């Protein structure tokens, strides 16, 4: 299937690891061009060297307001076809172990920067009468996950923002969606599993086996599987899909509307 992505330009957060890297690579394979944002300068330079004609690199923390301004200025007057709003999540903690400092920091790292980036790019999307905005959150927005109270709570705010925005700009050729991944083979999930292992006294391997036994497909997902859906949602073919929060979880969500 031709996803009609050749030479289109996308902004990708967290582009050197996990979901960000998988989505960037999938877009590149479709002939798209990518502005890759990542904190690790060495990894970013190495990634860019693999695809020098398709990757433009911005080294920095995409959650930082100054970096967001740099990104907007860097894009300038060029057409931007879509953004993959992605960065690391908050630390794994149960509610009773959090401090107000944890909550203040999580507001900035989970919510605030996403709204800032989106609103600063909205004039461009509206002028173009086209755009694809795709947030990466977690299945915790549908079903709380143990020891992830910061993610469980604040990612819901992003879903509310995305849904409201989708209703405001839907007639302008702009779609806004959220992907809610379950357990995938990424560093972020490995940190969660290690937290469970440390708190339970069980080994990491025991925790992973127990987890996978409760996933209907019997295993964790792969980042490239997640990316296949993300890239379609970033493509022109997804024009009639907006305001949705879509689980990518191997069937973990038990509800009929998972």
Model confidence pLDDT, tens digit, residues 220-256: 999 999 999 999 999 999 999 999 999 999 999 888 8
Q: Going by DSSP bridges, is the β-strand pair 174-181/245-248 parallel, antiparallel, or unpaired?
A: parallel
Mean pLDDT of 184-196: 83
Confidence of residue 211 (pLDDT cuts 50, 70, 90): confident
Q: Looking at residue 194, what is its pLDDT? A: 84
Q: What is the pTM of this model?
A: 0.94
Asked if 176 and 158 touch (Cβ cutoff 8 Å), the reply is: no
Q: Looking at residue 116, what is its pLDDT? A: 98
Residue 240 to residues 84, 137, 166, 173, 232: CA-CA distances in angstroms? 18, 21, 11, 10, 12
Question: CATH number for the 9-182+222-247 domain, one of 3.30.565.10, 3.40.50.720, 3.30.420.40, 1.10.3330.10?
Answer: 3.40.50.720
Q: Looking at residue 200, what is its pLDDT? A: 85
Residue 26 makes CB contacts below 8 A (sequence gap 6+) with 224, 227, 228, 230, 231
Mean pLDDT of 51-70: 98
Pick the range with the lowest mean pLDDT from 47-51, 57-61, 147-151. 147-151
The answer on pLDDT for 11 being more than 80 is yes
Share of the chain above pLDDT 90, in %: 84
Share of the chain above pLDDT 70, in %: 100
Three-point CA angle 118, 122, 123, nearest 5°: 145
Q: Looking at residue 73, what is its pLDDT? A: 98
108: region left, alpha or beta (phi > 0 left; psi from -120 to 50 alpha): alpha
Mean pLDDT of 43-62: 98
CA dihedral 14, 207, 195, 162 (to 10 degrees): 40
**Mean pLDDT in the chain?**
95
Q: Looking at residue 193, what is its pLDDT? A: 86
Residue 77 makes CB contacts below 8 A (sequence gap 6+) with none
The answer on pLDDT for 146 being more than 90 is no
Give the burial string for 236-254 (b: 16+ CB within 10 Å, else e).
eebeeebbbbbbbbbebbe
Sheet of 245-248, strand order: 55-59, 33-38, 9-13, 82-85, 131-136, 174-181, 245-248
Model confidence pLDDT, tens digit, residues 71-100: 999 999 999 999 999 998 898 899 999 999
Residue 191 to residues 86, 171, 183, 194, 244: CA-CA distances in angstroms? 17, 41, 11, 5, 28
C-alpha–C-alpha distance, residues 255 and 245, integer Å: 14
Model confidence pLDDT, tens digit, residues 92-143: 899 999 999 999 999 999 999 999 999 999 999 999 999 999 999 999 999 9
Asked if 140 and 129 touch (Cβ cutoff 8 Å), the reply is: no
Pick the range with the lowest mean pLDDT from 106-110, 187-191, 198-202, 207-211. 187-191
C-alpha–C-alpha distance, residues 106 and 253, integer Å: 25
Residue 204 makes CB contacts below 8 A (sequence gap 6+) with 193, 194, 197
C-alpha–C-alpha distance, residues 199 and 217, integer Å: 26
Where in the chain is CATH 3.40.50.720? 9-182+222-247
């Amino acid at each position: 299937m031709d996803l009609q992505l050749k030479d289109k330009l996308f902004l990708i957060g967290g582009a050197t690891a996990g979901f960000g890297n998988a989505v960037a690579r999938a877009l590149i394979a479709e002939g798209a061009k990518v502005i890759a944002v990542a904190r690790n300068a060495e990894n970013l330079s190495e990634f860019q060297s693999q695809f020098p004609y398709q990757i433009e690199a911005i080294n920095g923390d995409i959650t930082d307001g100054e970096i967001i301004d740099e990104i907007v200025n860097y894009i300038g007057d060029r057409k931007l076809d879509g953004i993959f709003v992605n960065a690391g999540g908050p630390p794994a903690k149960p509610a009773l172990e959090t401090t107000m400092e944890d909550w203040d920091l999580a507001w900035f790292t989970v919510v605030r920067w996403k709204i800032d980036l989106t609103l600063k790019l909205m004039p461009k999307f509206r002028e173009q009468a086209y755009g694809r905005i795709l947030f990466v959150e977690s299945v915790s927005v549908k079903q709380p996950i143990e020891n992830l109270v910061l993610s469980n709570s604040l990612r819901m705010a992003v879903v509310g923002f995305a849904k409201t925005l989708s209703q405001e700009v839907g007639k302008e050729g702009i779609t806004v969606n959220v992907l809610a991944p379950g357990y995938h083979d990424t560093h972020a999930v490995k940190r969660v599993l290690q937290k469970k292992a440390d708190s339970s006294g069980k080994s990491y391997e025991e925790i992973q086996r127990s987890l996978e036994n409760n996933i209907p497909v019997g295993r964790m997902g792969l980042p490239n599987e997640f990316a296949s859906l993300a890239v379609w949602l970033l493509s022109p073919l997804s024009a009639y899909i907006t305001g949705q929060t879509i689980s990518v979880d191997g069937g973990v969500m038990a509800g009929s509307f998972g």
